[in-house]
Structure formats: structure tokens, C-alpha cells
Amino acid sequence: MIFAASLAAAVVIVVLSATALALWYERKLAARMQTRIGPQFVGPIGLFQPVADLLKLVQKEEIVPMGADRVLFALAPPLTVIFALAAAAFVPLWPGVAVVRSDVGVLLVIGFGGLAMVPVWMAGWASFNKYALLGAMRAVAQSISYGVPLVLAAMVPVILAGTMDLDGITQFQATHHWFGLWPIIPGLPAFILFLLAMLAESNRIPFDIPEAESELVAGVTTEYTGMQFGFVYLAEYVHTVVGAAIGSVMFLGGWDGPFAPGLHWLLLKTLCLFTFIYWIRWTLVRLRADQLMTLCWKWLVPAGLGLVFLSAAWNQTGWSR
């Protein structure tokens, strides 16, 4: 019990500091892509820039717009962080160890990911702002739609490994093969599908229409100031970091790796996925809401169904045993 609690505290601290580091990393990465230098004055090579940003946000006045639903408005930002962090509890850190080890880990992770839509809707509704409302409307539509291909893509490793336990899936991959690499046909497309759906769930370009700042000013975060905005902003990064971690657990073998399996492999794979996500983000333009739905329901969902069928067929052959 004490071990689990201290581990939980450690994970929260690790995830939050990883997120702060990810903020710095993304800014540096984006700057390099854009022939800029990026943050460089706060701390060595600008490492403390996220801290400076945080301090700035904390100092700012928190404004509640007239006509806003004060309770929901105040409640939404912390909830986004809580739901985003909750999913991190199920990530197997090293063999046999996760903060919460559950037999239905995959289900819970996806469930918490989907729950993150609720505070976004709360924020959009309570803000009493049309841009926020439009943003929240888009966010709900997008989250509900992309939840389907996300579940379908997650079903592939579940079927292949025969368990919904995230650690069990990693164990299976450690003893057999990484699902992102083998079997190529349900595995690799499922990995890509998972990445796409995860991009949409965490509102990253090209799927960032809920906060499309060139159209909706700032979407659901339009009326938020100070640390309340900071929470929503933080939650997005936590969402992306945890999503990348889940992706590497389910498709890239998690803590598995040559020489010494352990946390470092998980972090390395997460970093690679994170880099890939931000590479996409700083390259592409965003889709339109209707194109997003077309992509989801006409292409990704049928593809996901096909992949689930193929992975079941693969299991029947018994080649991976």
C-alpha cells in the first residue's frame, strides 16, 4: 500500500516533470524546424523556460467572464489534468511494476482518455463564449468519433497477446515480438491507426480543430487566464506524453529492449513517438471538421474493423505461439 502510494506520487512527479521537459523539447524542436533558435536565456540552453512560463501563469489574474457558470468553469481545468494523469497510472514501468496493475488496463486507459472530453465540454459550456462553445462542440464530436478507431486499434494487441493487462501485453511482446513490427499486416497498420486516433484524442495537428486558433481564437481555452489556462495547457501535454507512452507499451514493447529491460527503454520509445507527433504538428496544416469526420467514419473505422478481424485470423493460425 505504502509502496503503491509512493510509486503513484513518484509517477505524478515524473510525468509532470517529463511534461515540463517535453514543453522545452517541443519548443526547441519547432524552433529548429523553423530556422529559429528557440528558448535559450532561462537556464542552460533555455531548459527552465517551462518554469518561467509556469511562474508567469501563476502570477496572472484569473478572470471569470460575466455570465459564466462559475462552478463548472473553475472545476474544468483541474479535472483535465486529473484525467490525463490518471491514465499514466496504468503504464507498466518495468517488468511487473505499474502504479495500478489491472487485468483490464487497456480498457481503463482508453476510458480515462475518453473522459478527458468531459471537462473540455464543461469548460466550453461554462465559459459563456461562442468560440469556446464551438470548440467544445467540435471536441466532443471528435472525441466520440475517434474513440472508435482508437478502441479498434487497441483491440489488435489485446487479441494478439490474449490479455487486456498492459503489463501482460508487454510481457508477451518481450517473449515473442513487438506488435508494431510483427505480424506486419494487423500490427503496423494498427500502430499507425492508433497514432492517428491518439493525435485526434489529444487534439494535435492535423486534428486540433477544437482549439484551431486561426478560426476559433483559442477554442475552449478562450476565456481561461492564468493558471486555469495553464492547467488545460498542461493537460494537453500530459495527454500527449501519456498517449505516446501507451502507444510504445502496446506496440513497441514498452520496457522491453536489448541488454537491460527497464524504464529507460520505455522513456526512449516514448520520446521517439513524442518527437514524431511534434514533427507532424509543426509540418501539416489542419483538417476541416467535416473532413475529420469523413476520415474517421469512412476510412479509419472500417480499416480498424478489418484489422481486428485480421488479428483474430492471425491468432487462429497459431504462428506466434
Partner 1 sequence: MEVTTPVRTLPYRKLELYEPEGDMLTLQLGPQHPSTHGVLRIKLHLDGEKIIKAVPYPGYLHRGVEKLCEQLTYVQMIPIVDKDDYIAPMHNEQALVMAFEKLLKIEVPRRGQWLRSLLSELQRVASHIFWLGTMSLDLGGALGGGSTNFIYCLRERELILDLFEELTGSRFHYNTHCIGGNRHDIPAGWAAKVHDAVNLIRARLPEYEAMSCNHRLFIERMRGVGVLTGALALELGITGPNLRASGVDHDLRRDAPYDAYREIPVNVQTAKEGDCLARTHVRLAEMRESLRLIDLLIDGMPTGPINSSRPAKQANQIKIPSGQAYASLESPRGELGTFVVAGNGEANTSPYRLKIRPPSLHALAALPYLLVGHNVSDAVAILGSLDPIMGEVDR
- Measure the CA–CA gap between 152 and 306, rounded to whole angstroms: 9
Contact region with partner 1 (CB under 8 A), list: 11-19, 151-159, 262-270, 275-283: 275-283
The site map against partner 1 for 186-225 (x = CB under 8 A) is -------------------xx-xx--xxxxxx--------
Question: Which residue's CB is nearer to partner 1, number 168 or number 206?
Answer: 206
The site map against partner 1 for 289-318 (x = CB under 8 A) is xxx---------------------------
Closest contact distance (angstroms) between CB of 286 and partner 1 is 6
Residues near 213 by Cβ (< 8 Å), separated by ≥ 6?
219
- Measure the CA–CA gap between 222 and 121, rounded to whole angstroms: 13
The site map against partner 1 for 117-156 (x = CB under 8 A) is -------------xx--x--xx------------------
Q: Where are the alpha helices (DSSP H) in 182-295?
A: 184-201, 213-216, 226-251, 263-281, 289-294
- Measure the CA–CA gap between 47 and 197, rounded to whole angstroms: 31
Rounded to a whole number, what is the distance in angstroms from the first to the last CA of the chain? 36
Which of 285, 236, 281 has its CA nearest to residue 33?
A: 281
Closest contact distance (angstroms) between CB of 192 and partner 1 is 16
Question: Which residue's CB is nearer to partner 1, number 279 or number 309?
Answer: 279
User: Applying CB under 8 A, which of residues 36, 60, 264, 298 lies at the interface with partner 1?
Assistant: 36
Closest contact distance (angstroms) between CB of 101 and partner 1 is 37
Query: What is the rounded radius of gyration, in angstroms, for the C-alpha atoms of the chain?
Result: 20
